[in-house]
Structure 1
Amino acid sequence: ELVVRFYNGIGLPVDSILANSDLYERKDKNPHAFCTDIDRQGDVRILCNLKNNEYWMDTILHELGHAVYDKYHDPNVPYLLREPAHIFTTEAIAMFFGRLSRNAAWMQQMLKLSDEQRIEIEKVSSKYAQLKQLIFVRWAMVMYDFEKQLYANPDQDLNSLWWKMVEKYQHVKKPNGRVEPDWASKIHFAIAPCYYHNYVLGELLASQLHHHIV
C-alpha cells in the first residue's frame, strides 16, 4: 500500500508491476529478491518475500526502482537499446529509492508521523544509514577481490581464499577448523557474476542524485 501510494505520487505507477509479481514467502521459493523485464515492452515483474519490517521496505522500494526504470523506457527507442545504459545506473535508481526506508521525512509523510516522532527517528536514521554503507562497502570489496582472484586462478583453494578476503576487508576471523565452501553460498557467483562493483558505483550515483535533488 505504501509503495503503491508513493510511486503513484511521483508519477510512476507500479500497480501493473505488482499485479504480475511474486511478493510473499512460500515453501522452497527463491529467497533472493530481484526484478526482471520480461519483454522490454512494459511487462516488468519483481520477486520478493515481504515481511512487515524496514529491511523489506528497503527491498521493495529498491526492486520497484529497478522496475520503473525498465517499465518507463521510451517505447520509441529501438528494442536493443531499451534497457539500462549500464548496470550501475539501474542500481543507482534502485538504491536512491531504497534509501527512503531510512529517511525520517519520508516516513513522516507516508506514515503520518508527528514532528516529535520524526525528530526521534532522525537521531538514529542518518547514523544508521552511514554505518550501513560503511559495512556494505567492505563486503563489496570481499566480493570483488575474491571473484577477481577466482577467475585468475580457479584451481586454487577457494575456501581459504574466501576467508582471506573476509579477514582482510571485514576483519572477521575464520572459525577454528572451518573447512566449508562458504563462498559458494553467495548466489551472485551463479546468477550475476562480476556484479558487485556495480552496487558501489550505484551508491555513488545515488548519493549524487540525492545531493542534487535534496
Structure 2
Amino acid sequence: MTVHSIPLSSWPTFVDPLAIAIVVGGTALATLLRGPAADALAAVRALPRLGRRGFDAERLRAEIARTERVAVTRGLLNVDADGIADRCIADVVRAVVDGAGPDQVTRLIDDQDHARDTRHRVIHAVWMAAAEAAPAMGMIGTLVGLVRMFSRMDDPTAIGGAMAVALLTTLYGAILANLVAAPIAARLARLSTQEAAARNAVRPALIDFARRFAPVPIVVKRPRTAA
C-alpha cells in the first residue's frame, strides 16, 4: 500500500482567511458569551501548565521538611514563607507562623482545595465549551459558503472560492474541536487530578507541622481567696 503525501505546493489551498475568521472568531465569541470574560482569561492563562511536569507529592514533602528544619533550628519566626515556591504551602506556613493551630490549618487547606477545584472546573468548562462550539461554527461557515456560492452561480470564477469556504470551515471546526480544544481540556483535567492527589498526600504533613508548632496556651491561675 502506497501512502501519498500532500505536496508542499498544495498546502496554501487549505488556508482561507475568511474560513479561519469564521471558525476561530466564532468559537472565541461563542465561548465568551457562555460566561464571564474572566473565566476565558483564566482558561488562556492556564495554557503554560501544559508544558509543565505534573505535581509531585515528594517535591511538596521535601519543601515542607525543609521549612520544618528551619523552624526547628532557627525558630518558627525565622521561617521565610515568601521563599517557599508553592503558594498554597506558603500560605499554610504563614498561618502557622502567625499562630494558627491544627484546626485552623485544616480549615485553610479545605478552603484552598475548594477554591482550586472550583477554578479548575471553570477552566475545564471553558475549553470544553470551545470544543463544542467549534464544529457548530464550522457548520455556520459551510452555510455561509453555500449561500455565497448559490448567489454567484452566474460568475464561475466566484464559485470556487465560495465552495472552498464552505468545505474548509467544516475542516477547521473539526480540527479546532478535536485536535486543539478537547485535548487541552483533557490534559488540564488530568493535571488537576494529579495535583489534587499530590496535595492530598502531603495534607497530613502540613497538619502535623501546625500541631508541632502550635502556640501553647497560657493558663493564668487565680489566687485563692480566703473563705
TM-score by length of 1: 0.31
Name the larger-Rg structure: 2
Structure with the larger RCO, 1 or 2 (CA within 8 Å, 6+ apart): 2
What TM-score, normalized to structure 2?
0.29
Structure number with the higher helix fraction is: 2
